[in-house]
Chains A and B, each alone.
Chain A
């Protein structure tokens, strides 16, 4: 976790730092609140310890190791149980398009260590038109075989399932952190974890200004659109971000469960507004995977969304401003 940088402007306090391999932004409407920032950091540390795929000592790593040894049931923290339950829900509500059991597929595509250690490629490098690679094993969806128990929290994993909670864990922690920071600071709070944005409390006048673009690291001057939300959450999924080279081919992190390979659909970037950050994240990722069917699916759920096609064409849905 890097040293935060602070910004004070227009009655908003903003702190930014790096954590979980991405950028964290906290914006407060009220007075500066060290307690609110501490609460956010506490949530980030907790999810890292529980759900990181790259920390050998994390609870998730131990769970995946148990699965590799033949599966079984293990007692876990309430946080990991909640994160896995959310990941299963993501698969359930997206009919498997957001699949938490793609960990082995990601590893076979070279995403086997922290992203900072991979052969990263420029976000806007052309997407390989034809990713034909040999994966070690065809992906078989197993999320329905993972069971979360209550009192005490336990998780049962079958043999050979490697969970990856990257798709939903950041959104979960953004929501949790926003709630806790609001409890500590009292005013309006916005928390962004890698562009997954959750809010809590009263928004500032005019709402929370959010710039949607391909990669959250590109900054507010990157091509995109600036919108305002007064509550709820907003998340963006993009195949233009988190890309690396493996066996000479460009990869990205959004996999199609039907193939276990990086999605090759019509959308480059999808932003979705929802009541909660996990819902926004699930919908944005599912839309990228669903491809041509995404507009109908998003419309069916009445989720405001902005879809950017590979050629840059923009389509907006369900009340998202043009």
Chain B
């Protein structure tokens, strides 16, 4: 084989190796990008599992957390930074049991006639004292 022909063969081989190397790089890059894309799609396609978050402060997050329904962590941080959201405030006093449970019937009872110690004839009572007002029904709190 002449020297020029051998050089030409070597050049073709080197060119082929370069194409293979380029092709390998493209394939590896595409595989990495494809994996990332598939991972992202999968992460957004399923709601994920619930997990219990144990909290020791009075911070306002509930015990349940999932990946989808709530605003992003970034957004929550943003809001926490720009808006002061005080926690839910309990009442000064907890409710107590009420003895009142239903509307009382309307009464029309009249007060007893006044007595007198005077010797003069007792006046005739023609009016009765105003009837005590009925206890009003409790106000109802229910779904609306």
Contact = CB atoms under 8 A, between A and B. Distances in A.
B62 to A, nearest CB: 4
Contacts of B52: 293
B71 A91 contact: yes
Nearest to B66: A258
B142 A241 contact: yes
A310 interface: no
A241 B62 CA distance: 24
Interface size class of B (residues with CB under 8 A): 35 or more
Contacts of A222: 140, 142
Nearest to B97: A321
Interface string A174-213: 0000000000000000101011110000000011111111
Contacts of B138: 209-211, 220, 226
B144 A231 contact: no
A93 B96 contact: no
Given A207-B98, A226-B100, A293-B62, A99 B140 contact: no
A302 B90 contact: yes
A221 B102 contact: yes
A232 B96 CA distance: 13
Report whether over half of chain B's contact residues are helix, strand or loop; otherwise say mixed. Answer: loop
Contacts of B120: none
Interface residues of A, number: 100
B95 A304 contact: yes
B62 A290 contact: yes
A296 B65 CA distance: 14
A95 B94 contact: no
A283 B141 contact: no
Interface of A: 7-12, 14, 22-23, 25, 27, 85, 88-89, 91-97, 99, 123, 139-145, 170, 190, 192, 194-197, 206-222, 224, 226-242, 256-259, 269, 271, 273-276, 279, 282-283, 286, 290-291, 293, 296-297, 300-304, 318-321
